[in-house]
Amino acid sequence: MEAAGYDILKLNIGNPAPFGYDAHDVVIEAVRENLVAAQGYTDSKGILPARLAIRRYCAQKGITGVGVDDIYIGNGVSELIVSAMQGLLDDGDEILIPAPDYPLWTAAVNLAGGTAVHYICDEQANWYPDLADLERKITPRTKGIVVINPNNPTGAVYPRPILERIVELAAAHELIVFADEIYDRILYDGVEHISLASLSDEVLFITMNGLSKSQRIAGYRVGWMVVSGKKAAAQGYIEGLNMLASMRLCSNAPAQYAIEKALGGENSIQDLTKPGGRLYQQMDFAWRRINEIPGLSCVRPSGAFYLFPKVDARRFGITDDQQFVKDFLTAERVLLVQGTGFNWPAPDHFRVVLLPEIATLNSAFDRLEKFLATYVQTGREKMVG
């Protein structure tokens, strides 16, 4: 469509840069000043100043017992998720993953020969994990539990009792907890983020984080993975992680120099997420506006960049949410992502990115409201009025 000359409004990817979010000057300058020093390979786990800064950040979050050798810097969190699964899974091993999820987790499990088993997050309970469903799905083949907090795509931030119960289940069944906390600084309405790995030393935790979102440098590809907790019982797995890190030599060296300044300085994202800040205002507007559209409803997010609205599938005859997204794109030139793309089991949700300015969001929602006023999808026959 773009090749044909159409202007597409893209609300499908959490990429801050195209919407005018720039990194703090201090972070950019740290990379620029060290370009000469970054010409060669680094240690396979990353440069020492960056890993020391990550260790200090872990301490601030209450994650104890972390040494520099427990930290792996990667080309974004995505690379590290793949390595974490490849180093762990044999054919048929199971990993519990939330539904909805960030779909790279499911893909990484499948790529490693494992089986992704999705536990449900409950929309009626602020999208918190359904702990009974999670517990029912633990089997002798289960190796770990993935927790995405703050959650992509729902924006949920989980309270302490939920997290403590997940840790209890992991300890009881000797499971690894994989904590995806890339959005831990992007919080609204005074909500507190609690790092899972701060809650126990009796579980092995693999915590993922990075600068792509909080520092708005997604293109720099800089993330990290921290091993903590019950490390003594996982020496074989840790050896595998070390081997995988060495096999790819090292991550992007220039970007590693952003870490110390980013974690040691001002938390610049707070100016955007507090009341009156750009992200907060866009979140609040988008949430209210979507709930005004007949046939849509949405839980207010507490973190991250997204809304995950529910569409009345029966009202609009929707049986294929990918087709729904395609029909809307064709009619109104706005690109969303269907809920089943996040391994949600029903064709009744979609994800919206909150990054555009309010005027742009308002235009998108006006188009969506107009589209839904006449839209019916029935089987393979689609009608757009």
Cα 223 to the chain's mean position, in Å? Answer: 12
Chain segment 57-96, per-residue pLDDT in tens: 999 999 999 999 999 999 989 999 999 999 999 999 999 9
Share of the chain above pLDDT 90, in %: 80
Number of H helices, E strands in the chain: 13, 17
pLDDT reported for residue 316 = 95
Determine the pLDDT at residue 34: 84
* 123 close to 311: Cβ distance less than 8 angstroms: no
User: How many Å apart are CA 339 and CA 120, to the nearest integer?
Assistant: 13
Give the pLDDT score at 353: 95
- Phi, psi (5° rounding) for residue 201? -110, 5
The pair of structure tokens assigned to 66 is 């972390």
- The residues facing 306 across adjacent strands are 353
DSSP 342: G
What would the DSSP string read from start to end of 45-109?
Answer: T--HHHHHHHHHHHHHTT--S--GGGEEEESHHHHHHHHHHHTT--TT-EEEEEES--THHHHHH
Mean pLDDT of all residues in 92-104:
96
Give the model's confidence band at 213: pLDDT under 50 very low, under 70 low, under 90 confident, else very high.
Answer: confident
pLDDT in tens, 152-197: 999 999 999 999 999 999 999 999 999 999 999 999 999 999 999 9
Q: How far apart are CA 152 and CA 255, in angstroms?
A: 24
Distance separating alpha carbons of residues 168 and 171, to the nearest angstrom: 5
- pLDDT for 385 beyond 50: no
Structural contact between residues 120 and 142, judged by C-beta atoms closer than 8 angstroms: no
Q: 214-262 pLDDT, tens per residue? A: 888 777 789 999 999 999 889 999 999 999 998 888 888 899 998 998 8
- The mean pLDDT value of the chain amounts to 93
For the residues of 117-149, what is the DSSP string, one character each? EEEEEEGGGTTEE-HHHHHHT--TTEEEEEEES
Give the largest CA-CA distance in the chain: 63
Tell me what pLDDT residue 379 has.
Answer: 56
User: Torsion-angle region of residue 155: left (phi > 0), alpha (psi -120 to 50) or beta?
Assistant: left
pLDDT at 384 > cutoff 50: no
pLDDT band at 14 (very low <50, low <70, confident <90, very high): confident
- Dihedral, CA atoms, 290, 292, 296, 300, nearest 10 degrees? 50
Strand partners, 182: none
pLDDT at residue 340, rounded to an integer: 97
**pLDDT of 6 over the 80 cut:** yes
Q: Which amino acid is at 264?
A: G
Mean pLDDT across the stretch 297-325?
A: 96
Distance CA 147, CA 166 (A): 9
Question: Over 90: is that where the pLDDT of 265 sits?
Answer: no
Greatest mean pLDDT among 37-41, 323-327, 378-382 lies in: 323-327
